Amino acid sequence: MKTLYVEGDTFLHRLSPRTKLLGLAALSLVLFLVHSPAVLSVAAMLGGIVCASLRLGWRQSWLRLRPILLTIVIVALFTLVLNGRHDALIVATRLTALALFAAAVTATTSTGDFIDEITRLAMPLERLGVVKAADIGLSIGLVIRFVPEILSRYQAIRDAHRARGLKPRPLTLAVPLIILTLKNADDIAAAIDARGIRAQK
């Protein structure tokens, strides 16, 4: 799995993840309170400038933003038909600005930094006894570790279908995949406990 993070040394890269996340949250609040298309277009343009300053290249930026921009265009078109030009312009500029700034934060914060920040943010929850903060990093690591294995297992099950001349169907693919995968849980849990990774304090 390739992350959407890009190596670099721009101003945004050097900012702490917390500042960036809080900034993004504050910005999204402000953007939803503003109802002037002129201000929102300026915000969208600023977002574009910030993204351009990361030197991703046109192709990369386009590939990243395409799915979201497409949704925004569709929603804006609907709004245009239903509510008129003014509302459509507000929706399109507001969402574009938000998407651009969010993409900039994603591109400048590494997965490790994010996990550290989430672990720190979860500390108050740990004190409440809801979740152990260190478990979050551990589970994220587990997910990333097991995705390729599940994919190869999926391929094996599909090949088994082919070899027997069966048509692959959602049900006959999903059930063996899930049972085979979840049956590993005991071994993995035993391995984690044996290494004392979740040692009780």
Instruction: Tokens for 128, please give them.
Output: 């409440």
The nearer residue to another protein, 2 or 164, going by C-beta atoms, is 2
Question: Closest separation between CB of residue 83 and another protein, Å?
Answer: 6
Find the farthest-apart pair of alpha carbons in the chain and give their distance in angstroms, rounded.
Answer: 63
Instruction: Tokens for 54, please give them.
Output: 């990361």
The nearer residue to another protein, 42 or 142, going by C-beta atoms, is 142
**Amino acid symbol at 99:** A
Burial of 57 per CB tally in 10 Å (0-12, 13-18, 19+): exposed
Contact 117, 22 (CB under 8 A): no
**Amino acid symbol at 160:** A
The nearer residue to another protein, 34 or 102, going by C-beta atoms, is 102
Question: Closest separation between CB of residue 163 and another protein, Å?
Answer: 18
The nearer residue to another protein, 49 or 174, going by C-beta atoms, is 174
Question: Closest separation between CB of residue 23 and another protein, Å?
Answer: 12
The nearer residue to another protein, 38 or 73, going by C-beta atoms, is 73
CA 40 to chain centre: 25
Contact 181, 153 (CB under 8 A): yes
Question: Closest separation between CB of residue 50 and another protein, Å?
Answer: 13
Contact 50, 12 (CB under 8 A): yes
Question: Closest separation between CB of residue 150 and another protein, Å?
Answer: 4
